């Protein structure tokens, strides 16, 4: 029943009214959504009958609260229309803005037709004919369920008529009327006929106007649409008057006034009063003439006020919308700017992270490079400090370590001893068994000595087959005993090499700080003197420096030269 009522509401007013009443009687059986639909139809009925005050709250409450978005949009369309009809133009344009914003999301073709029709109507009403025509053409183009051509053409032709861009003979007029009739839209067909009648009157084709208006008058009367009936009758009155049929003119004008919607001052009403005034004046009824003239003037003024009001409302809403739009655009720009700023910040952070990563990579690379360099430096340093044959300190390293140990001993006034050891007849080992055997003996001699030395003792190869030993914390007597142990250890080296016997022995010269002081040069010289004495005494023995044997006089050579000389000793 709801659907049927909706379908017939503008084509069969009697059936529509009957259905609505019947639905009201079954109100309790309706679902919430059905009640909302009924509320919409009730609002529509009030609007149709000209009771705008009742129609508006019913419709607008649905705009905000209806559960179905399509019904919301439809209620909004009708509410816009009703507000315009009741001259609440600002409200109408505000509603229209809401509608046009929602329009892209609306899919229901009927609802779209209704919304776009309202837009077209309203723009035409404020003289924005091109905009009105634009929406009317959209209605025609979408042609929802075949009804778009009728509805859109009705508005487009009205806008063309008002903007004086069409003639009464334009073929689109009968074509549109036919389209409406095919759809059963007699109300719209008659609205187009009204437009055509106005055009006939404008072109002074009175017979055509009267013929058209009379032909369909009864049909219009049956429409129960007061606004349409009143306009029709006003046009008839004006046509009759111009034709000289005063009685008919007066009759129709009175009906037009009678049917006019209360407090609505439209051109048809003004026209009707004008006819009544002129007819009364013609018949000498001055009192009535003055009364109608006053009414006509009042209606005219009210209409002009209305035109001004709607123009003002339109301009006000338009400028508000524009300023809201520009505010929104400014906000959008600001948002875009903020977004860009955000993107820029994150890019900058990303770049910083890249830089940091790069920097870390460089640092790691440098650290690695430094580590490798240091390692190879240490390796080379070690190589430069170690005797490659025996693995103990070489001569420069021995001197360096010995000086350090003696300096420490000097500072703490502790004793230290220096021992020089030279292998006996080493040349003959080389000569008899070969150089490799000599090397082997040198390595064995070092191993034998090491097993009797402490970690704190300094042991180095100071010449070809000559070794230096510094014994920190060791006095002369102790040093002699320890040198003796070394001597015995050399004797105990396995004397066979590749099946041949090669006896190893060494001669030792010993001195200590208590005898020679803390100067390494002096200590070495004295130890060397003792060694010289041991060699001379028959080798394979330990002799201390006794101060009696003076080593060979030398003009204080640099310590390396001295050591070299010692090596040859």
Ligand X SMILES: Nc1nc2c(ncn2[C@@H]2O[C@H](COP(=O)(O)OP(=O)(O)OP(=O)(O)O)[C@@H](O)[C@H]2O)c(=O)[nH]1
Q: Contact residues for ligand X (CB under 6 A)? A: 389, 422-428, 430, 435, 438-439, 442, 464-465, 535, 539
Ramachandran sector of residue 467 (left: φ over 0; alpha: ψ -120 to 50; beta: rest) = beta
- Separation CA 326–CA 331 (nearest Å): 8
Question: CA 315 from chain center: how many Å?
Answer: 39
Tokens, residue 354: 């890249």
Tracing tokens 């420490």 back to the chain, one arrives at: 408
- Residue 466 Cβ vs ligand X, minimum distance, rounded to whole Å: 8
Q: Which is nearer to ligand X, 2 or 437 (CB)?
A: 437
Q: Which is nearer to ligand X, 279 or 465 (CB)?
A: 465
Hey, CA dihedral for 51, 57, 62, 63, is it positive or negative?
positive
Q: Which is nearer to ligand X, 233 or 422 (CB)?
A: 422
Q: Which is nearer to ligand X, 22 or 428 (CB)?
A: 428
- Separation CA 414–CA 479 (nearest Å): 14
Q: Counting Cβ atoms within 10 Å, is residue 451 exposed (0-12), middle (13-18) or buried (19+)?
A: exposed
Taking Cα atoms as reference points, which of 569, 505, 514 lies closest to residue 542? 505
- Residue 459 Cβ vs ligand X, minimum distance, rounded to whole Å: 17
Could you give the maximum distance between any two Cα atoms of the chain, in Å?
A: 180
- Residue 442 Cβ vs ligand X, minimum distance, rounded to whole Å: 6
Q: Which is nearer to ligand X, 187 or 462 (CB)?
A: 462
- Residue 427 Cβ vs ligand X, minimum distance, rounded to whole Å: 3
Task: Report DSSP letters for 508-551, one per residue.
Answer: EEEEEHHHH-S-HHHHHHHHHHHHHHHHHTTSS-EEE--SSSPP
Q: Which is nearer to ligand X, 181 or 446 (CB)?
A: 446
Sequence-ordered strand ranges (E) for 150-256: none
In the three-class reduction of DSSP (H, G, I as helix; E, B as strand; rest coil), residue 469 is classed as: strand
- Residue 560 Cβ vs ligand X, minimum distance, rounded to whole Å: 17
Q: Which is nearer to ligand X, 273 or 497 (CB)?
A: 497
- Residue 528 Cβ vs ligand X, minimum distance, rounded to whole Å: 12
- Residue 523 Cβ vs ligand X, minimum distance, rounded to whole Å: 21
User: Rounded to 5 degrees, what are φ and ψ at 101?
Assistant: -70, -35
- Residue 391 Cβ vs ligand X, minimum distance, rounded to whole Å: 13
Q: Which is nearer to ligand X, 133 or 563 (CB)?
A: 563
- Separation CA 170–CA 276 (nearest Å): 32
- Separation CA 335–CA 325 (nearest Å): 15
Q: Which is nearer to ligand X, 410 or 440 (CB)?
A: 440
- Residue 544 Cβ vs ligand X, minimum distance, rounded to whole Å: 19
């Amino acid at each position: 029943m709801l659907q049927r009522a909706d379908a017939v509401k503008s084509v069969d007013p009697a059936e529509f009214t009957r259905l609505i009443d019947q639905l009201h009687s079954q109100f309790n059986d309706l679902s919430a959504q059905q009640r909302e639909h009924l509320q919409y139809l009730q609002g529509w009925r009030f609007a149709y009958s000209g009771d705008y005050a009742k129609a508006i709250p019913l419709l607008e409450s649905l705009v905000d609260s209806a559960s179905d978005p399509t019904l919301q949009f439809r209620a909004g369309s009708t509410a816009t229309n009703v507000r315009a009809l009741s001259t609440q133009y600002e409200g109408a344009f505000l509603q229209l803005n809401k509608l046009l914003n929602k329009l892209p999301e609306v899919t229901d073709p009927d609802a779209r037709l209704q919304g776009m029709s309202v837009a077209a109507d309203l723009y035409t009403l404020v003289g924005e004919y091109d905009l009105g025509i634009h929406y009317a053409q959209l209605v025609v183009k979408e042609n929802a369920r075949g009804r778009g051509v009728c509805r859109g053409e009705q508005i487009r032709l009205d806008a063309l008529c008002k903007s004086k861009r069409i003639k009464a003979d334009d073929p689109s007029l009968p074509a549109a009327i036919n389209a409406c009739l095919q759809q059963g839209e007699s109300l719209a067909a008659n609205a187009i006929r009204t437009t055509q009648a106005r055009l006939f009157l404008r072109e002074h084709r009175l017979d055509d106007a009267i013929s058209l208006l009379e032909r369909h008058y009864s049909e219009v009367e049956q429409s129960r649409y007061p606004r349409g009936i009143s306009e029709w009758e006003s046009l008839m009155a004006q046509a009759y008057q111009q034709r000289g049929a005063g009685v008919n003119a007066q009759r129709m004008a009175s009906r037009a006034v009678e049917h006019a919607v209360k407090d609505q001052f439209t051109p048809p009403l003004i026209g009707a009063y004008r006819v009544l005034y002129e007819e009364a004046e013609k018949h000498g009824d001055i009192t009535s003439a003055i009364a109608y003239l006053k009414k006509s003037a009042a209606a005219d003024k009210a209409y002009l006020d209305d035109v001004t009001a709607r123009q003002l409302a339109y301009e006000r809403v338009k400028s508000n919308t524009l300023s809201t739009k520009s505010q929104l655009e400014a906000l959008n720009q600001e948002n875009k700017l903020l977004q860009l700023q955000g993107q820029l910040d994150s890019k900058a952070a990303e770049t910083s992270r890249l830089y940091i990563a790069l920097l870390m990579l460089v640092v790691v690379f440098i650290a690695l490079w430094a580590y490798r360099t240091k390692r190879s430096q240490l390796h080379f340093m070690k190589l430069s400090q170690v005797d490659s044959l025996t693995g103990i300190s070489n001569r420069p390293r021995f001197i360096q370590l010995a000086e350090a140990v003696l300096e420490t001993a000097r500072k703490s006034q502790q004793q230290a001893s220096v021992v020089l050891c030279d292998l006996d007849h080493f040349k003959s080992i080389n000569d008899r068994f070969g150089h490799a055997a000599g090397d082997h003996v040198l390595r064995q001699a070092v191993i034998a000595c090491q097993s009797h030395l402490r970690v704190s003792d300094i042991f180095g190869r100071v010449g070809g087959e000559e070794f230096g030993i510094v014994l920190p914390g060791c006095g002369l007597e102790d040093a002699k005993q320890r040198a003796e142990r070394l001597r015995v250890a050399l004797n105990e080296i396995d004397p066979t090499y590749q099946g041949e016997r090669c006896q190893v022995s060494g001669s030792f010269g010993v001195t200590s700080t208590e005898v020679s002081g803390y100067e390494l040069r002096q200590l070495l010289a004295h130890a060397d003197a003792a060694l010289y004495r041991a060699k001379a005494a028959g080798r394979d023995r330990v002799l201390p420096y006794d101060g009696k044997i003076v080593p060979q006089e030398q003009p204080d050579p640099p310590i390396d030269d001295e050591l070299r000389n010692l090596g040859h000793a």
